[in-house]
Structure 1
């Protein structure tokens, strides 16, 4: 056989062998326990969902699926641990859209771009955010809040669960769209944030249902609006941003996904994506999602990337305008 044809034949055999090996790896996956690393604290909404998903995957796969909480460090403690894992699908990382899309803008000196180190594998859910005020707040709608903020530039503050969080960046976006200038007050503890909003110590904040329902059910919080184009069935009486007199284009939400260190075989990623989608469709998980107002997602990895890139454009501009840095 001429050398040229021999080389081509060898290359073809290697490609076929590699493809067959990848298919075998996918068919056998998982053959040992799988670890789900998360930057979210135990007991948080994303953690509660991940534990439900891990239980269902464990039954489906016939292997232990362990949740490993690594909160702190702006998400980098969990990220760094997952980065050290082999790219074989046995270590997955739960991140929200801000870890994916905002971190590169907030930590410029680290030169860290999440999607250069991790590949999206499967989506879990998206959560909307409400504008929350204390029950005794003088503001009855978004028009009141915005008018007051315009009349007192730089004097009205809002809280969030940390610099670079959806609550912080959402506040920056409201300022940009409404032509206001409000002061951001970051909190370390979510429970303390909403306790202070309820007491009137901080005038308002964005809030999700699972993080604020305790204070809300105690009668200390009101929701002025949902930062979304449609009302949700869990809170049918809460108006949309546009209905409440706020900027119609303001949408504040966060989506949560599973990612893997780059290099996981495509067939393994496809299996994980299909199996997670199957689990997310389980009625028990859907019912739990409903209590949190979490919207189940069954995006492909490509859809996760597209949605992350769209958020990155918005966040990059907000970080630039607000001169926000977490170095």
Structure 2
């Protein structure tokens, strides 16, 4: 009798475990706040291909840039919380926008639930290849002159590059002139031609211009050197502020109300995809650092960076209607 009861219990556990597995019976749609062909978009498609092979269902990446992420997020947030609708976003959408938009059409905490971190990437201090600033200390010395403030740029007012640069400006104890551009390509073209003195850039966004001898990286705003460009010193190694970083990250989110077991299963599937050698090689080519782990790490990053940027915004006044 006890044997029969034991076997029945095992069968129940096995049945429950099988029911808990996320196995979509129809296509999975991943909306993206990023334009087609951008680094995050490429990563999303690489991961989607792996998920499609795992689940046996189409996994479609739908690029919907615009509205500071609102177009993609609002198009997904009201979907049924089954795991079939996801969205790829970054630190700006989750931690910065709630601080700078007077009327934000979505609430990252009320409308979304973290699923998985896709990657982190650090920003480098980029100057023109023929810039007179040969080292980061040269840049610091020039920034100390009050008569002719240095000009730095960003691709969006209130974005990670703008606010990250403002943090560095404060840490250096200087005042510089911020020049915003509409597109990333315009920003780095302005650095390369000397229209502005420097800008933060990643391997994915500015690395091509470095390899093409149009830009030069003086330092990386991280606590350790980038494996993609190990010859570039950290800010601290270059004589800059200690313990200061400028990182951005990209995550996968689901509609609020998505069951915890579904989130956990998708999280595992994404982590498994990111751990495959061909994916790791692709990510490394972009300078993206994979950080596999539970969905909680996304929630932790959201909270920590919201506090960090709130501190920056006490000095850099940014408000968008």
Native 8 Å contact 1:125 1:296 kept in 2: yes
Match of 1:99 in 2: 93
The alpha-carbon deviation at position 111 of structure 1 amounts to 7.6
TM (norm. structure 1) is 0.90
Aligned CA RMSD, in angstroms, stands at 2.0
Q: Among residues 193, 216, 223, which one is paired with 1:199 in the alignment? A: 193
Q: Deviations over 1:159-199 (max 9, x none)?
A: 11112222111111012211111122121221121111111
CA drift at 1:83: 1.3
SS at match of 2:258: coil
Distance 1:143 1:179 in 2: 14
Is residue 56–residue 279 contact of structure 1 (8 Å, CA) maintained in 2?
A: yes
Provide the TM-score with structure 2 as the length reference: 0.91
Task: For residues 275-299 of structure 1, give each alpha carbon's deviation from its aligned partner in whole angstroms, at most 9, with x where no partner exists.
Answer: 1111110111000011111111213
Q: Which runs of 5+ in 2 are unaligned?
A: 1-13
Structure 2 CA distance, aligned partners of 1:28 and 1:111? 30
Aligned to 1:268: 262
Q: Mapping of 1:219-234 within 5 angstroms?
A: 219-234=213-228
Deviation at 1:147, TM superposition (A): 2.2
Name the CA distance, whole Å, in 1 between partners of 2:216 and 2:146. 22
- Are the aligned partners of 1:103 and 1:114 in contact in 2 as well (CA < 8 Å)? no
Asked if the contact 2:86–2:252 (Cα under 8 Å) also holds between the matched residues in 1, the reply is yes
Q: Which residue of 2 aligns with 1:237?
A: 231
Three-state SS of the structure 2 residue aligned to 1:196 is helix
1:256 aligned residue:
250
The answer as to whether partners of 2:124 and 2:217 remain within 8 angstroms in 1 is yes
Answer yes or no: is the 8 Å Cα contact 1:103–1:113 preserved in 2.
Answer: no
Task: Report matched runs for 1:136-151 at 5 Å.
Answer: 136-151=130-145
1:117 Cα deviation (Å)? 1.2
Deviation at residue 112 of structure 1 after TM alignment: 4.7
Are 2:34 and 1:40 aligned?
A: yes
Question: Which position in structure 2 is the counterpart of 1:169?
Answer: 163
Is residue 286 of structure 2 the alignment partner of residue 292 of structure 1? yes
Structure 1 CA distance for aligned equivalents of residues 265 and 79 of structure 2? 19
The reply to whether residue 313 of structure 1 matches residue 307 of structure 2 is yes
Partner deviation per Cα, 1:44-81 (whole Å, 9 max, x = no partner): 00001001000010001100000010111111111111
Q: Does 1:278 align with 2:257?
A: no
Stretches of structure 1 lacking an aligned partner (at least 5 in a row) = 1-19
Alignment partners' CA distance in 1, 2:116 and 2:43: 14
Q: Does residue 324 of structure 1 match 2:312?
A: no
Contact persistence 1:23–1:267 (CA under 8 A): no
Q: Does 1:131 align with 2:125?
A: yes
Deviations 1:206-233 (A, max 9, x none): 0011111222122111101000111122
For 1:32 and 1:192, how far apart are their aligned partners in 2? 41
Seen in structure 2, the aligned counterparts of structure 1 residues 100 and 23 have a Cα distance that, compared at 3 Å, is: farther
Count of residues paired in the alignment: 309
User: Alpha carbons of 1:53 and 1:154: their partners in 2 closer, same or farther (altered >3 Å)?
Assistant: farther
